């Protein structure tokens, strides 16, 4: 782990040195943003694959509805038939999670890099870098202690919170609109978010037609569509407690994700890209 942290620190330092003529004292912060962009570019092919998978699942919806009707009295046969359909069409229900999962190591490296005073037995020189007046290893509590909310450091966090709130609101409205406009999302017996208990037929499960069996992954998808519109707002808390460098990574990645999803899912039918917010 120590060798990995040393190599990562060297990478950030070299990027900062390259950007120093352009960004001067904020070169390390610019290096973090550039590193985040490189990570997102690296996982972009997976994001495109996730978008193709979501579009494929949207295209398969009528066939799955037919299978649900055909095997309405046999949950086992329905699950087997749906899995076979997914395998035939080369659709993976996990494809949308991969871009997010593969970014976690980079985030944790950034977090630990700016949380340790020593790297490889040597003083961590990156902690001496700042963005405007805010040290990259500092946190929001440090900013509040040095000037308050509207101090030199506090204003930077106000700007970060504003960006996160704006992007989260954009994601929230976009996802809720897709769910509301999706065909059958509120129809009786669909078990979709917004359907009343009296129309779901299956009660709390709400994953099939009235009295019908559950489609594989439908319960998880239903829960995800309810929770994911609010998940982006949790980034506000994360930005407040992690080092500024890790907060810059999060805000940059979150903004990239919002723009990327808007582009990749622009031609998806309403509701087809709702679950893709998790990516």
Is pLDDT above 80 for 170?
yes
The neighbouring-strand residues paired with 135 are 130
Cβ atoms of 225 and 211 within 8 Å: the answer is no
pLDDT reported for residue 179: 61
Radius of gyration of the chain (CA): 23
Rounded to 5°, angle at Cα 212 from 210 and 213: 145
pLDDT reported for residue 193: 33
Q: Specify which of 57-61, 237-241, 269-273 reaches the highest per-range mean pLDDT.
A: 237-241
Residue 173 CB neighbour total at 10 angstroms: 11
180 pLDDT band, cuts 50/70/90, is low
71 pLDDT band, cuts 50/70/90, is confident
198 pLDDT band, cuts 50/70/90, is very low
Please report the DSSP string for 77-120 in residue order.
HHHHHHHHHHHHTT--TTGGGHHHHHHHHHHHHHHHHTT-SEET
Tell me the average pLDDT across 66-89: 80
Tell me the average pLDDT across 184-196: 36
Residues 68 and 77: their CA atoms lie apart, in Å, by 10
Residues 161 and 165: their CA atoms lie apart, in Å, by 6
Q: For all residues of the chain together, what is the average pLDDT?
A: 78
Residues 272 and 127: their CA atoms lie apart, in Å, by 44
Q: What share of the chain is helix, strand, coil (3-state, %, to 5)?
A: 70, 5, 30
Does the pTM exceed 0.85? no
C-alpha 104: how far from chain center = 10
134-148, 194-208, 252-266: least confident range: 194-208
Q: Domain extents for the chain?
A: 2-278
69 pLDDT band, cuts 50/70/90, is confident
Is pLDDT above 60 for 250?
yes
Is pLDDT above 90 for 231?
no
C-alpha 150: how far from chain center = 30
In the structure encoding, which two tokens stand for residue 99, read together? 């871009």
pLDDT digits (tens, 9 = 90+) for 97-144: 777 788 889 999 999 999 999 988 889 999 999 999 899 999 999 999
149 pLDDT band, cuts 50/70/90, is very high
In the structure encoding, which two tokens stand for residue 122, read together? 């040597």
């Amino acid at each position: 782990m120590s060798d990995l942290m040393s190599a990562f620190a060297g990478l950030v330092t070299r990027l900062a040195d390259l950007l120093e003529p352009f960004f001067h004292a904020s070169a390390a912060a610019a290096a973090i943003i550039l590193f985040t962009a490189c990570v997102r570019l690296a996982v972009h092919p997976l994001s495109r694959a996730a978008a193709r998978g979501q579009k494929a699942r949207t295209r398969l919806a009528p066939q799955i509805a037919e299978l649900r009707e055909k095997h309405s009295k046999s949950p086992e046969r329905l699950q087997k038939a749906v899995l076979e359909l997914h395998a035939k069409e080369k659709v993976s229900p996990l494809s949308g999670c991969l871009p997010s999962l593969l970014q976690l190591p980079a985030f944790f490296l950034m977090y630990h890099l700016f949380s340790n005073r020593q790297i490889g037995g040597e003083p961590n020189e990156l902690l001496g870098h700042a963005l405007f007046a805010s040290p990259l290893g500092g946190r929001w509590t440090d900013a509040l202690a040095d000037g308050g909310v509207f101090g030199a450091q506090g204003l930077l966090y106000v700007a970060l919170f504003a960006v996160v709130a704006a992007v989260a609101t954009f994601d929230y409205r976009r996802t809720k609109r897709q769910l509301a406009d999706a065909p059958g999302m509120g129809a009786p017996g669909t078990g979709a978010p917004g359907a009343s208990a009296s129309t779901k037929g299956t009660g709390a499960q709400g994953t099939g037609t009235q009295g019908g069996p559950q489609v594989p992954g439908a319960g998880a998808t239903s829960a995800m569509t309810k929770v994911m519109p609010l998940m982006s707002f949790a980034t506000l808390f994360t930005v407040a407690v992690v080092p500024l460098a890790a907060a810059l990574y999060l805000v940059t990645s979150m903004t990239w994700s919002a723009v990327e999803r808007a582009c990749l899912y622009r031609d998806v039918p309403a509701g087809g890209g709702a679950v893709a917010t998790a990516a």
